[in-house]
Chains A and B, each alone.
Chain A
Amino acid sequence: MQIIIVGCGKVGSALAAKLSNEDHNVTVIDTNAERLNHLTDLYDVMGICGNGTDYQILERADIQNADILIAVTYSDEVNLLCCVLAKRASACRTIARVRNPIYSTGRDYIRRELGLAMTINPEHAAAREIVRLLRFPTAIGINSFSKGHIEMFRFRVPDHSPLIGQAIKDAKILQTDGLICIAERGDDIVIPDGNYVVQKNDKLSVILSPQNALKFISDVGLKTDAVRNTMIIGCGEMGYYLAKMLLNMGIKVKIIERSRERCEILAEHLHKAQIICGDGSDEDLLREEGLEEMDSLVACTGIDEENIILSLYAKNKIRQKVVTKMSRLEFNDVIRSLDLDSVINPKTITTETILQYVRAMANSYDSNVETLYKIMDDRVEALEFAIHRNSSITHVPFEDLHFKKNTLVAGIYRKNRLIIPDGQSYFVPGDSVIVVTTNTGFDEIGDILETKVRS
């Protein structure tokens, strides 16, 4: 597809890199020539130096033939104006990053009236993600499929789990409620088969339906209760959204924020929250404010290093969940080796959300992948396929199909129910199928088989 990205900051660059590697034709517009040059040196994209709201610049980027325009400059207004201009000039879809809270209440209205395909507010999206995590504090990450009817939970195997030492095929709870589809041990990532023996501290990803989630979580020996209170350290836009959402859910919120001014604004908008004006990196202050009585802590100051230190400090004191906000995109290996609980990066979330939209759109052109997640630093793909009426692999038991290596059918969504597949399972037209694989480039369900069968 022809994609134009306006603004090449961290998100714009990350999008350009990913999309160009996924074989899209990417043109990047930015006012900073140096940054553009750097980007075009590293990736096969075209750079145009100029302002994205300049119609001539858009024309030079061949807006008439573009499929998608993604506006991710630092300015909301520039992003919106770009999208409106692009929409007027061509039939392309437009995505804008809009982060000012002023626009947040009218987001849907703006989107609809300006004809945008999607707006994304990174801080809001990140806050929503954190809420999901706090709802299931034992999960490290959660992805959803089939419009939220199926979820993929990632968790660390706790010390006394009944799973430890068992092979997957022998563990009873794994046969009925959920299916382990990815296992991480140290730096290794595998798609486990029945003989995989679970060990302590493995990180497992499991496919579940939300209804069964609670039961499953308690079965594997994890705590199930949602958090009752949260301490938010550093309260920028994301902290504000987060506090608001949590308060609406009836969770107590304690905010520690350094700036007096900010505290006063927050106090105006968040009546129920307890707002403390002070330095969140002060050990005494934290102790005084009862860090050890907290169920969860969200470290979201503007400085990554501070967030990391805070999280490491709080890890053994907080009962359930420590969430670390990061804004840097590099050094993922180092961050992973720190053994932090959950890391949330608004930029990554923005990038991923936009990528999902673009991928879904690209796929609607030439394949029948409904959802595509690239997870674990892009080393694993989780895809959702629709099974069509004339597919040739329906009604064949899985025992008789030869799946490719490192490929797993992790779940079948049929008639509003999640079916955990086994050897006797088979596809029926109308199914929604979730496939987890370390291979790439699957376009249709037939691709998961060793021998190519047209579906």
Chain B
Amino acid sequence: MNRAMIRYVTSWILRLEGLLLCSSVIIALIYREFDVLPKYLMVIAGCEALGFLLAQKPEDSRIYQKSGYITVALAWIVMSAVGALPFVLTGEIPNYIDALFEIVSGFTTTGSSILKDVEAVSHASLFWRSFSHWIGGMGVLVFILMFIPVKGGSQMNLMRAESPGPDVSKFVPRVHNTASILYKIYLGMTLGQILCLLIARMPWFDTLCITFGTAGTGGFGILNSSCASYTPVQQWIITIFMIAFGVNFSFYFLLLFRKPKAAFKMEEVRAYGLIILTSIVLITVQIFSRTTLYHHLGDAVRDAAFQVGSIITTTGFSTTDFNQWPSFSKWILVLLMICGACAGSTGGGMKVSRILVLLKTLKKELLQIVHPRSVRKVMLDGETVEHTVLRSINVFTAVYFLIFGLSVLIISLDGFSMETNFTAVAATLNNIGPGLAGVGPASNFSAYSPISKLILTFDMLAGRLEIFPMLLLFVPSIWQRS
């Protein structure tokens, strides 16, 4: 394993994080929050100094697949460990484990919070919290790949480890060109949302924070009521952009740079759209006709659409306390949590393409029992899904549910209800944010014990990095020199 290279990449991460923290300094200056300002400056200075010390470029800049996974996992851990410091130093989240939970929730675009009163937090910290969504959404290493001089296929090994989806591929021959295309699309859509929300007369600070939360499919709100107090127009804008950020970015690449027709033929995007529509219709019908919560159909549709968009893209904003909804609707939301957004988007979860492939495999296996001699292949977008990809999807699913089960088991020790524990893990492992019952949109994660918080923190990182990079850290032979 190339330890020197891991150190080098980490130094880049630190320096970049220092740079990104400067945005909070600007916010602190604007809001004259002079008590938190020096704390942020301290962290920035620390980042830059440490980054500078470690920045010696190694001679061998090759990163093979194994080190790629480890580099990415460690980079995210370092980034989170440092990113939590401002909260502790400013005293807004005095406990380090809580602060770590909060920032990991930010970087992994989860949006679960342990803050009881969000509105009491300084603007600088609120901004840093939301900005971390935007940073984590597309991936930090993908960003660094645009500048970092690494050799050959090494970049691909980093990108593959960080980007969500069963089969990560490039748009164009070079990784750094691919990364810059991804970031151009990301930046363009972010600016688009900012513009729309400003036109809809949302205050600019809210606009920035909400947009970052949407773009990264994160979900930190800056009000205790999340998005409930925004106007219907603003809510619709957020809904549409949430769903847009959950679409596979190769859709946009095809749409903008290649063949728009092929873009709309992508099976994953079609399935994603279908799932969203069906869920919205089912939930609307139930909450409008079977409950007394809504008097206007428009309100019901808006809330249903917002919630479905928010949950399937794993954003986690809320406009209403969906904990009050009947259990059929709630269960749809839980299923959407596990399903997640498209591969290659900023969203989390298992990803629509994995579910599609799994269902197709199931169909194939069933038919195989009926016609034992039949020969079939699993196809996606008119192409055979390679055996290795199928295998990795199967293994992913198995490991996913294993971690799910074990996490629920451990946090059950805290004595909360089953629904609370189950959805707490679902909400963190899938990077959503709020769950149901005790961790529903109206509550938060602060009641859990420190150990449970660490478990949930691990789940968030595992969910964001698609499990394997985090699991590899626990394989002893990875650390042996050989």
Question: What is A's interface to B at a CB cutoff of 8 Å?
Answer: 2, 17, 20-21, 25-27, 33, 39-46, 62
Query: Does the CB pair A42–B152 fall under 8 Å?
Result: yes
Q: Mark B173-214, 1 if CB is under 8 A from A, else 0.
A: 111010000000000000000000000000000000000000
Query: Does the CB pair A41–B172 fall under 8 Å?
Result: no
Q: Of the 9-residue stretches B153-161, B325-333, B410-418, which lies at the interface with chain A?
A: B153-161
Q: Which residues of B contact A41 (CB under 8 A)?
A: 64-65, 153, 156-157
Query: Does the CB pair A20–B170 fall under 8 Å?
Result: no
Q: A25-B172, A33-B386 are in contact. Are A40 and B177 (CB under 8 A)?
A: no
Query: Does the CB pair B173–A44 fall under 8 Å?
Result: yes
Q: Which residues of B contact A17 (CB under 8 A)?
A: 152
Q: Which of B134-168 contact A (CB under 8 A)?
A: 152-153, 155-157
Query: Does the CB pair B177–A25 fall under 8 Å?
Result: yes
Q: How far is the CA of A25 from the CA of B174 in the complex (A)?
A: 6
Query: Does the CB pair B386–A43 fall under 8 Å?
Result: no
Query: Does the CB pair A40–B153 fall under 8 Å?
Result: yes
A-B contacts, 16 of them at CB < 8 A, read: A2-B173, A17-B152, A20-B152, A25-B172, A41-B153, A41-B156, A41-B157, A42-B152, A44-B156, A44-B173, A44-B174, A45-B153, A46-B172, A46-B173, A62-B172, A62-B258
A23 (CB) vs chain B CBs: closest residue: B174
Q: What distance in Å separates the Cβ of A1 from its nearest Cβ neighbour in chain B? A: 11
Query: Does the CB pair B173–A25 fall under 8 Å?
Result: yes
Query: Does the CB pair A44–B152 fall under 8 Å?
Result: yes
Of A21, A33, A44, which one neighbours B175 at CB under 8 angstroms? A44
Q: What distance in Å separates the Cβ of A5 from its nearest Cβ neighbour in chain B? A: 10
Query: Does the CB pair B153–A46 fall under 8 Å?
Result: no
Q: How far is the CA of A40 from the CA of B157 in the complex (A)?
A: 9
Q: How far is the CA of A104 from the CA of B175 in the complex (A)?
A: 40
Query: Does the CB pair A26–B173 fall under 8 Å?
Result: yes
Query: Does the CB pair A46–B170 fall under 8 Å?
Result: yes
Q: What distance in Å separates the Cβ of B353 from its nearest Cβ neighbour in chain A? A: 18
Q: How far is the CA of A62 from the CA of B178 in the complex (A)?
A: 14
Q: How far is the CA of A179 from the CA of B362 in the complex (A)?
A: 73
Of B65, B153, B258, B386, which one neighbours A44 at CB under 8 angstroms? B153
Q: Which residues of B contact A43 (CB under 8 A)?
A: 152-153
Question: What is B's interface to A at a CB cutoff of 8 Å?
Answer: 64-65, 152-153, 155-157, 169-170, 172-175, 177, 258, 386
Chain B contact residues, majority secondary structure = loop
Q: A21-B152, A33-B386, A40-B153 are in contact. Are A45 and B64 (CB under 8 A)?
A: no
B160 (CB) vs chain A CBs: closest residue: A41
Most buried by B among A40, A43, A44, A46: A44
Q: How far is the CA of A25 from the CA of B176 in the complex (A)?
A: 11
Q: How far is the CA of A44 from the CA of B158 in the complex (A)?
A: 12
Q: How far is the CA of A400 from the CA of B277 in the complex (A)?
A: 77
**Known contacts A21-B152, A40-B156, then 18 further A-B pairs from the complex at CB < 8 Å, ordered by chain A residue:** A17-B152, A20-B173, A25-B172, A25-B173, A25-B177, A41-B64, A41-B65, A42-B152, A44-B152, A44-B156, A44-B173, A44-B175, A45-B153, A45-B173, A46-B173, A46-B174, A62-B172, A62-B258
Q: How far is the CA of A33 from the CA of B64 in the complex (A)?
A: 19
B176 (CB) vs chain A CBs: closest residue: A44
Q: Which residues of A contact B170 (CB under 8 A)?
A: 46
Q: Which residues of A contact B64 (CB under 8 A)?
A: 41
B382 (CB) vs chain A CBs: closest residue: A56
Query: Does the CB pair B152–A27 fall under 8 Å?
Result: no
Q: Which residues of B contact A45 (CB under 8 A)?
A: 153, 173
Q: Which residues of A contact B157 (CB under 8 A)?
A: 41
Q: Which residues of B contact A26 (CB under 8 A)?
A: 173
Q: What distance in Å separates the Cβ of B46 from its nearest Cβ neighbour in chain A? A: 33
- In order of increasing CB-CB distance, the 5 nearest A-B pairs are A25-B173, A46-B173, A43-B152, A42-B153, A41-B153
Of A21, A27, A33, A42, which one neighbours B173 at CB under 8 angstroms? A27
Q: Which residues of A contact B172 (CB under 8 A)?
A: 25, 46, 62
Q: Which residues of B contact A62 (CB under 8 A)?
A: 172, 258
Q: What distance in Å separates the Cβ of B147 from its nearest Cβ neighbour in chain A? A: 14
Q: How far is the CA of A33 from the CA of B152 in the complex (A)?
A: 19
Q: What distance in Å separates the Cβ of A13 from its nearest Cβ neighbour in chain B? A: 12
Most buried by B among A2, A17, A43, A46: A46
Q: What distance in Å separates the Cβ of B407 from its nearest Cβ neighbour in chain A? A: 32
Q: What distance in Å separates the Cβ of B256 from its nearest Cβ neighbour in chain A? A: 14
Q: What distance in Å separates the Cβ of A60 from its nearest Cβ neighbour in chain B? A: 9
Q: How far is the CA of A45 from the CA of B174 in the complex (A)?
A: 6
B64 (CB) vs chain A CBs: closest residue: A41
Q: How far is the CA of A2 from the CA of B386 in the complex (A)?
A: 27
B257 (CB) vs chain A CBs: closest residue: A62
Q: Which residues of B contact A33 (CB under 8 A)?
A: 386
Q: Which residues of B contact A44 (CB under 8 A)?
A: 152-153, 155-156, 173-175
Q: Which residues of A contact B177 (CB under 8 A)?
A: 25
Q: Which residues of B contact A46 (CB under 8 A)?
A: 169-170, 172-174
Q: Which residues of A contact B173 (CB under 8 A)?
A: 2, 20, 25-27, 44-46
Q: How far is the CA of A39 from the CA of B175 in the complex (A)?
A: 14
Q: How far is the CA of A27 from the CA of B173 in the complex (A)?
A: 6
Q: Which residues of B contact A25 (CB under 8 A)?
A: 172-174, 177
B65 (CB) vs chain A CBs: closest residue: A41
Q: How far is the CA of A43 from the CA of B174 in the complex (A)?
A: 10
Q: Which residues of B contact A20 (CB under 8 A)?
A: 152, 173
A21 (CB) vs chain B CBs: closest residue: B152
Q: How far is the CA of A192 from the CA of B202 in the complex (A)?
A: 71
Q: How far is the CA of A41 from the CA of B64 in the complex (A)?
A: 8
Q: How far is the CA of A26 from the CA of B170 in the complex (A)?
A: 12
Q: Which residues of B contact A27 (CB under 8 A)?
A: 173
Q: Which residues of B contact A40 (CB under 8 A)?
A: 153, 156
A48 (CB) vs chain B CBs: closest residue: B169
Q: Which residues of A contact B65 (CB under 8 A)?
A: 41
Q: What distance in Å separates the Cβ of A59 from its nearest Cβ neighbour in chain B? A: 9
A25 (CB) vs chain B CBs: closest residue: B173
Q: Which residues of A contact B155 (CB under 8 A)?
A: 44
Q: How far is the CA of A21 from the CA of B156 in the complex (A)?
A: 15
Q: Which residues of A contact B169 (CB under 8 A)?
A: 46
A34 (CB) vs chain B CBs: closest residue: B388
Q: Which residues of A contact B258 (CB under 8 A)?
A: 62
Q: How far is the CA of A32 from the CA of B386 in the complex (A)?
A: 12
Q: What distance in Å separates the Cβ of A200 from its nearest Cβ neighbour in chain B? A: 34
A50 (CB) vs chain B CBs: closest residue: B383
B178 (CB) vs chain A CBs: closest residue: A46
Q: How far is the CA of A40 from the CA of B153 in the complex (A)?
A: 6
Q: What distance in Å separates the Cβ of A378 from its nearest Cβ neighbour in chain B? A: 14
Q: How far is the CA of A20 from the CA of B155 in the complex (A)?
A: 13
Q: How far is the CA of A27 from the CA of B65 in the complex (A)?
A: 21
B175 (CB) vs chain A CBs: closest residue: A44
Q: What distance in Å separates the Cβ of B379 from its nearest Cβ neighbour in chain A? A: 14
A60 (CB) vs chain B CBs: closest residue: B258
Q: How far is the CA of A44 from the CA of B153 in the complex (A)?
A: 4
